[in-house]
Amino acid sequence: MNKICLMNAISKKGTAKFGADYEMTEELGGASAIMVRSAVLHDTEFPDSLLAIARAGAGVNNIPLDRCADTGIMVFNTPGANANAVKELVLAGMFLACRDIVGGIAWAKANKDEPDVAKKAEKEKKKFAGTEIFGKTLGVIGCGAIGYKVAKACEALGMDILGYDPYLELEDIPMTKDINDIYAKSDFITIHVPVLPSTKGMINQEAFAKMKDGVVFLNFARDTLVNEEDMKAALASGKVRRYVCDFATPGTLNMDGTIITPHLGASTEESEENCAVMAAEELMDYIEKGNVRNAVTYPRLSKELPGKAARYTVMFKGELPKEAGEVLGDDIVCAVRGDYGYAIADTDAAVPEEALAKIPAIKVRKVF
């Protein structure tokens, strides 16, 4: 029986994917895997039984990735499962930034007891006049699952699109290899990249200086991509017209010219269901077959079941140890991603434990 520890409330559409060989639990002891959304696991002591952690979402800053990689715990996320939800919120943010809808709603509520409110509204509505997005240029930094959907949706709304992504080449949206083109040409800029040492604080004073005056900047990715002090100064000077951000921090909440939402990007029923289903399928494929898809640190690798007696997996650092081939035979596939590698081997008979112990690896697992 494989125990799946639920660290957060997980959509039943996801947990229902597990069959009779699985038990859902809130207890970590003896668990084969963890399903998590927002719970922070950095100080969590993991049991020796733990094979994997699946984050029902894209961001994994709440998981100790290095510790997991070095102890043979596979970490999965669910890229793209929440893409449509985030895309729709980005569109909402663009409309809110262009039209003072929030201000208009507040005015209407404040004047609800006025008998001639309709007449008064005709006089006051000019205070809430805005602009349209049609014909404007949208710069998309990061054109993965979310950025691509945003680009195509805004293109359909009549915007000119310019994308930047150093890792992707797309043929159906205009792309640039120089991020400075995004800054110089865009009326709106939306960012959809992970937080890495190279991206943390990348939207800073230097970047703002290259942008158009009055640009609208949208951040539904991560708060730390933007230098808050520099954003505050850019808003005060008028360089940035509006900062639309999905991260409520003391810094963002105390800036003028912001529209802040409390991390609502993936908070839809459909998104939570999609993420939970994908996370469950990733865990089952890994636990039952040793296949890896959407791992965060280790490479993607799958192998069809050949009908042999046993299957083994090897998690290693650097190159695949030669002992793996010597012990497990030739029916082995291997992949490396950065510092970490993964191999799947099928054998005609079970391999003795003492032979497996000769493989100098992070973890060697008998799948079946």
pLDDT tens by residue, 291-331? 999 999 999 999 999 889 999 999 999 999 999 999 999 99
**Do the domain assignments include residue 296?**
no
Q: Note whether 67 and 93 are same-domain residues.
A: no
**Do the domain assignments include residue 128?**
yes
pLDDT for position 130 = 95
H helix runs in the chain, sequence order: 12-15, 65-70, 83-98, 101-110, 117-124, 145-156, 179-185, 205-209, 228-237, 250-253, 269-289, 322-328, 353-356
pLDDT for position 199 = 97
**Do the domain assignments include residue 214?**
yes
pLDDT band (50, 70, 90) for residue 54: very high
The residue segments making up the domain with residue 312 are: 301-368
pLDDT for position 316 = 98
Report the CATH number that the domain containing residue 352 is assigned in CATH. Answer: 3.30.70
Distance CA 96, CA 241 (A): 12
Report the CATH number that the domain containing residue 41 is assigned in CATH. Answer: 3.40.50.720
pLDDT for position 58 = 85
When pLDDT is averaged across residues 77-92 and rounded to a whole number, the result is 96
Instruction: Specify the number of domains making up the chain.
Output: 3
pLDDT digits (tens, 9 = 90+) for 200-245: 999 999 999 999 999 999 999 999 999 999 999 999 999 999 999 9
Q: Which long-range contacts (CB under 8 A, 24 or more apart) does 38-42 make?
A: 38/8, 38/62, 39/7, 39/8, 41/7
Distance CA 110, CA 148 (A): 40
Give the CA diameter of the chain: 88
Global pTM reads: 0.83
Distance CA 316, CA 314 (A): 6
Amino acid in position 264: L
Q: Note whether 242 and 99 are same-domain residues.
A: yes
Q: Note whether 201 and 155 are same-domain residues.
A: yes
pLDDT at 59 over 90: no
Q: Note whether 151 and 94 are same-domain residues.
A: yes
**Do the domain assignments include residue 295?**
no
Residue 216: CB atoms within 10 Å: 25
Q: Note whether 135 and 244 are same-domain residues.
A: yes
Q: Note whether 2 and 69 are same-domain residues.
A: yes
Distance CA 295, CA 50 (A): 15
Q: Note whether 138 and 36 are same-domain residues.
A: no
| Residue 104 Cα distances to 125, 129, 252, 257, angstroms | 8, 9, 22, 16
Distance CA 47, CA 116 (A): 68
Distance CA 125, CA 297 (A): 53
pLDDT digits (tens, 9 = 90+) for 10-51: 999 999 999 999 999 999 999 999 999 999 999 999 999 999
Of residues 129, 132, 128, the one with CA closest to residue 94? 132
Q: Note whether 233 and 102 are same-domain residues.
A: yes
Q: Note whether 115 and 224 are same-domain residues.
A: yes
Phi, psi (deg, nearest 5) at residue 73 = -105, 115
pLDDT digits (tens, 9 = 90+) for 85-130: 999 999 999 999 999 999 999 999 999 999 999 999 999 999 999 9
**Do the domain assignments include residue 294?**
no
pLDDT at 140 over 90: yes
pLDDT digits (tens, 9 = 90+) for 333-358: 999 999 999 999 999 999 999 999 99
pLDDT for position 6 = 98
Residue 204: CB atoms within 10 Å: 16
pLDDT digits (tens, 9 = 90+) for 172-184: 999 999 999 999 9
Q: Note whether 164 and 307 are same-domain residues.
A: no
**Do the domain assignments include residue 69?**
yes
pLDDT band (50, 70, 90) for residue 144: very high
**Do the domain assignments include residue 22?**
yes
pLDDT for position 349 = 96
Q: Note whether 179 and 121 are same-domain residues.
A: yes
Q: Note whether 115 and 96 are same-domain residues.
A: yes
Tokens of 164: 């930047």
